[in-house]
Amino acid sequence: MTDSATRRATHTMIGIVILAVMLFPVYWMVNASLQPSGNTLTAGFLPLDPSFAGYRRALSEQGGNLVTSLIIATGTVVLSLAIAAPCAYALSQFRSRWVSIGLLAILISQMIPGIVIANALYTAYERIGLLNSIPGLILANCSNALPFAILILRSFMLSLPPSLVEAARVDGAGLFRAFVAIVLPISRNSLITAGLFSFLFSWSDFLFALTLTTKGGIRPVTLGIYQYLGTQVQNWNAVMATAVLSAIPAVVLLIAAQKYIAAGAVGGAVK
């Protein structure tokens, strides 16, 4: 063993310790969700006698809300990508002074607090009947997903050579057809990245779920957890089981699409 090999092994050990500290709350969430019902906060460090009572309760009480969240998040992905992709292409390939104006507008949009949007959308939705509706929440969630998707897609499409589309145009394809047939397939990875983030943004949304729904009816799972916290913190196992179920998309995306996620975090913020 050389010195440097020992040092690298030490670094790996330190790295594992750092990760263990940072992810302890996530472990604790899983651990607490596997406790038998009652006040589960007395849980030991290991779920030696795991019980699925919390999950049974979570699924029966929050199962519908999980489906609602899934529908809203999927809708947000579809709508925001459909709107963002052509716009990102325009902002990356068209020559116009409007391009920099558009980019400035997107950057400014990131400064606008969600509560401002909620205030205004509530009054508008109240009038046009979109309160307590899935389309209303999908639209509101696009305020998180859309600017981000445009920036991610544009930063990729900037690297496309104009000749790519020109070639198809010579063959007589219209601009839009060339976009669908050539640009979109090539942009697959960036579409996946933007789609993943749109899904996560929408799935995690709490502010719009809280403000744009009134009693009963449509209730995303984030709101379900919030109401658990307000009313029955005695049943920690059900609360934590719901939290674990709500964390699944984040975990799946992190494991299945690691490189896209890191790329998205950097691309959306800096580019």
Binding residues with another protein: total (CB under 8 A): 98
Residue reference for tokens 């558009």:
102
Residues 207-236 that bind another protein (CB under 8 A): 207, 210-211, 222, 225-226, 228-229, 233, 236
The single residue among 67, 135, 189, 271 that binds another protein, judged by CB under 8 A, is 271
- The CA R_g of the chain, rounded to the nearest whole Å, is 23
Of 18 and 60, which CB lies nearer to another protein in the complex structure?
A: 18
Of 176 and 185, which CB lies nearer to another protein in the complex structure?
A: 176
Told to check if 128 binds another protein by CB under 8 A, we report no
Residues 23-62 that bind another protein (CB under 8 A): 23, 25-26, 28-29, 32, 39, 41-43
The single residue among 2, 123, 163, 231 that binds another protein, judged by CB under 8 A, is 123
CA separation for the pair 189, 140 (Å, rounded):
25
The single residue among 6, 12, 159, 189 that binds another protein, judged by CB under 8 A, is 12
Told to check if 251 binds another protein by CB under 8 A, we report yes
Question: How many CB atoms lie under 10 A from the CB of residue 59?
Answer: 16
Residue reference for tokens 């299945």:
256
φ and ψ of 252, to 5 deg: -60, -45
Told to check if 84 binds another protein by CB under 8 A, we report yes
| Smallest gap from residue 31 Cβ to another protein (A) | 9
Residue 31, token pair as written in the block: 């651990």
Residue 36, token pair as written in the block: 């038998």
CA distances for 246 relative to 53, 63, 73, 226, 250, angstroms? 17, 11, 12, 12, 8
